[in-house]
Amino acid sequence: MKLKASLLGAVALSTMATMAFADPALIYDMGGKFDKSFNEGAYTGAEAYKEASDGDYRDFEISEEAQREQAVRRFAEEGNNPIIATGFAYSSILDAVSQEFPDLTFVTIDGWVEQPNVLNVGFKEDQGSYLMGIFAAMASKSGTIGFVGGMDIPLIQKFACGYVQGAKSVNPDIKVIQNMTGTTASAWNDPAKGAELTKAEIDQGADVIFHVAGGTGVGVLQAAADAGVLGIGVDSNQNGLHPGSVLTSMLKRADIAVEKAMTEAAAGTLEAGVWSLGLEDGGVDYAMDDNNKDLVTPEMIAAVDAAKAAIIAGEVEVHDYMSDNACPVM
Amino acid sequence: MDDKIPAWLDVIVLPLMSLMIAFFVTGLIVLSIGANPFSVAQAMIEGAILRPSGLGYTLYYTTTYILTGLAVAVAFHAAMFNIGGEGQAMVAGVGVAIAALALDSTHWMITLPVAMILSMVFGAFWALLPAYLQAKRGSHIVITTIMMNFIASAVVGYIVIYVLRDNVAGANETRRFLEGAHIPRASDMLSWIGIDGYSKSVPMNITFFVALIAAVAVYYLIWRTRLGYEIRAFGLSSSAAQYAGTSPVKIIIIAMLISGALAGLMANNSVMGEQVKLGLNPVNGAGFIGIAVALMGRNHPVGIVLAAFLFGVLVQGGAELSFSYPAVSRDIVDVIKGLVILFVGALDNMLRIPMEHWWINRQKAKMA
């Protein structure tokens, strides 16, 4: 391995211009490859690239904080290109390592790095959540809807803020009950507590509940289905978890980002910069399939598609919580 | 006749035999996922010990595990099971961050001592409440320290997100510390003695020596001081110690404060030595691994240093394994760690009892 790295280094020095890069590399966040959510989305995208291009890729799951830099550096030393890391926690590491390997392209998904060879991929979760708010407000009979977040961090507030804005655009008097599961990382994986919070929200009158809580959401959707009210899934299409009880899901397409980055890199057209994937490019969206087609009325689709078009056209501006750490409607 | 097995059997042969069994079972698992156990073992040892940069990572983890292991051991000598090293180290991380953020425009020789003191004070403070509840109210230390871990996580999360967070970057972490809080890493220390060119990114740092000094200090404290004698006496029989005039309240509180302070020291290694900032996850389970380390090391500093090194090898070697063998996921590495803990720690008697029988029979045969 060491030999290979130094050989690659020598090649890089001698034939900088025509250097053939090694396969793309993908590094997951602490949640791991099969988190049924964001990291798994990235994995799905990489698999799709492999399928479509008969190229290959390498990946790595960290288990210690110190392995973040170790993994990025290791793949960089072996010439893997591009090097994609999921999660904002890689930002400062990519910032440092990208300067040492100016010929490689680095991709941060959800992070932010200002370097000439780093591509920043972000998602407009506020826009996707806005659509969920419209769905929820239109499906609610009680005039009260719910939100269950995972860990109380600004990113989740961004979802919540978009959701409330969307709901209020339909019904200015709507009541939105919000709960965060916890303040530790275990809040992402506590289905029992998710179910408790959901029951409490239902007791207060909520009849549609949107979760942004990772593994905790399994309990949220379960409790909603048990109580005969509607849940809304997140990140990947969760409509099929409880057919007939999940109104829709807010898709955050890490797979699109990863596949696109790997494919463009293979074609040599990948450029550093910023991809902000919103409704416009399918980076966030709502999920329709056989499981929820009887729950969603044509009026809802019409309203949501109208809002979607208005957001894309810039006629409706969704406030992004993370732009000023505040939400005007809450 | 002494019916105990001699120390060399107890401390060296028994753990090694248990380790062999653990590695054998691991080999079977590796075989079952279609990899060659010998080349896997070779990749692990190569990546964790033989390659200089790999050894640096191993010693970085070792530093952390020595300190959390010592923390568990000190409490254990007073017959208390401190499960709260995780939370104590987390809160100590805030202490380190405060020192580093306040002093990082000076010099590390100023920042490091202040950070060490703050980390020990914060860690000890977090152990104080469970200690007080145990000493005065009889609330079981296992329960209270576990609960304090969750509170620590929530408090640290709040402080990082709402007080110390660098709003510009958007991530849930403080700003990166400036030069004055960059404690010397292996590359710096090697260049002091004239060896240049070691990778600057290897996180092993000067706190490794802090951990070794702490191990010596714990040995001295437990076996060479009056307080240590009282702690051990209290641990072996609290009623006898009390009868002899030892105050249980004093021993419980002092042992837990020392334990919390040792766990707290660990935060210097991860927060200043590796991350150079405080995020939400400065400890990442090391407090719990400390329990296994203390268990394996028989609560003796020498054993703890060796056990900490073994766990360091497993973590770093495991990462190397995942790089070279895509089939070996991080979960397999966890399985290996679990087997080592199972055989060396929990199933200790499986080998010990037959070994004792064998030894006693041998002695008897000799006498006859």
Task: For B80-101, write each residue's pLDDT tens digit.
Answer: 999 999 999 999 999 999 999 9
Listed ranges A80-84, B170-174, B292-296; the one with the highest mean pLDDT: A80-84
Please tell me the predicted confidence (pLDDT) of residue A189.
79
Cβ contacts (< 8 Å) between A64 and chain B: which residues? 61, 284, 315, 319
- B102 at A interface, C-beta within 8 A: no
Rounded Cα distance between A308 and A282, Å, is 11
Please tell me the predicted confidence (pLDDT) of residue A10.
43
Q: State whether A198 and A319 are in the same domain.
A: yes
Query: Who among A69, A185, A322 is closest to B280 (CB)?
Result: A185
C-beta separation of A118 from A144 below 8 A: no
**Does A263 reside within a domain?**
yes
Cβ contacts (< 8 Å) between B203 and chain A: which residues? 66
CB contact under 8 A, B150 and A111: no
- Which residue of chain A is at minimal alpha-carbon distance from B176? A92
Q: State whether A91 and A162 are in the same domain.
A: no
Q: State whether A45 and A135 are in the same domain.
A: no
**Torsion angle (degrees, nearest 10) of CA B212, B213, B215, B216:** 120
Task: For B31-62, write each residue's pLDDT tens digit.
Answer: 998 888 899 899 999 999 999 999 999 999 99
Query: Who among A62, A89, A92 is closest to B176 (CB)?
Result: A92
Chain A positions contacting chain B at CB under 8 Å are 1-2, 30, 32-33, 58-67, 69-71, 73-74, 88-89, 91-92, 111-112, 151-154, 182-186, 322, 325
Q: State whether A192 and A77 are in the same domain.
A: no
Would the pLDDT of B168 be above 90? no
CB contact under 8 A, A88 and B319: no
The residue-averaged pLDDT of B105-133 equals 97
Q: State whether A168 and A303 are in the same domain.
A: yes
Inter-chain CB pairs, A–B, below 8 Å = 86
Please tell me the predicted confidence (pLDDT) of residue A242.
93
CB contact under 8 A, B318 and A63: yes
Structure tokens at B154: 């929530």
For residue A77, what is the domain's CATH number?
3.40.50.2300
Residue boundaries of the structural domains of chain B: 73-304
Q: State whether A61 and A186 are in the same domain.
A: no
Q: Which residues of chain A have pLDDT under 50?
A: 1-19
Rounded Cα distance between B79 and A19, Å, is 63
Please tell me the predicted confidence (pLDDT) of residue B167.
60
Rounded Cα distance between B219 and B207, Å, is 18
Lowest mean pLDDT among A68-72, B18-22, B184-188: B18-22
CB contact under 8 A, B280 and A62: no
- pTM beyond 0.90: the answer is no
Distance from B69 to chain A by nearest Cα, in Å? Answer: 18
Neighbours of A23 (CB within 10 A): 18
Q: State whether A103 and A141 are in the same domain.
A: no
Q: State whether A263 and A150 are in the same domain.
A: no
Please tell me the predicted confidence (pLDDT) of residue A2.
44
Would the pLDDT of B123 be above 90? yes
Rounded Cα distance between A5 and B18, Å, is 37
Within A141-245, residue ranges assigned H as helices are 154-170, 191-203, 217-227
Name which of A64, A118, A157, A190 to mutate to probe chain B: the one with the most chain B Cβ atoms within 10 A of its Cβ.
A64
DSSP string across B78-127: TT---TTHHHHHHHHHHHHHHHHHHHTTS-HHHHHHHHHHHHHHHHHHHH
SS3 A176: strand
Mean pLDDT of chain B: 91
The residue-averaged pLDDT of B100-106 equals 95
Structure tokens at A6: 């130094």
Rounded Cα distance between A188 and A234, Å, is 13
Q: State whether A61 and A206 are in the same domain.
A: no
**Does A330 reside within a domain?**
no
> Residue A243 sits in which domain range?
126-251+297-324
Q: What is the ipTM of this complex?
A: 0.85
% residues pLDDT > 70 (chain B) = 98
If residue A121 lies in a helix (H) or strand (E), which one and from where to where? strand A118-123
Q: State whether A153 and A19 are in the same domain.
A: no
Category of A87 on φ-ψ map: left (φ > 0), alpha (ψ -120 to 50) or beta: left
| Domains held by chain A: number | 2
Name which of B275, B289, B335 to mutate to probe chain A: the one with the most chain A Cβ atoms within 10 A of its Cβ.
B275
| Sign for the pseudo-dihedral over CA of B126, B128, B134, B136 | negative
Cβ contacts (< 8 Å) between A61 and chain B: which residues? 322, 329-330
Please tell me the predicted confidence (pLDDT) of residue B2.
56
Please tell me the predicted confidence (pLDDT) of residue B251.
96
- B87 at A interface, C-beta within 8 A: no
**Does A114 reside within a domain?**
yes
The residue-averaged pLDDT of B284-296 equals 92
Q: State whether A117 and A263 are in the same domain.
A: yes
Please tell me the predicted confidence (pLDDT) of residue A20.
58
Structure tokens at B334: 């966890």
The residue-averaged pLDDT of B278-289 equals 91
Q: State whether A90 and A202 are in the same domain.
A: no
- Which residue of chain B is at minimal alpha-carbon distance from A92? B176
Would the pLDDT of B349 be above 90? no
% residues pLDDT > 90 (chain B) = 67
Query: Who among B201, B281, B318 is closest to A73 (CB)?
Result: B201
Category of B259 on φ-ψ map: left (φ > 0), alpha (ψ -120 to 50) or beta: alpha
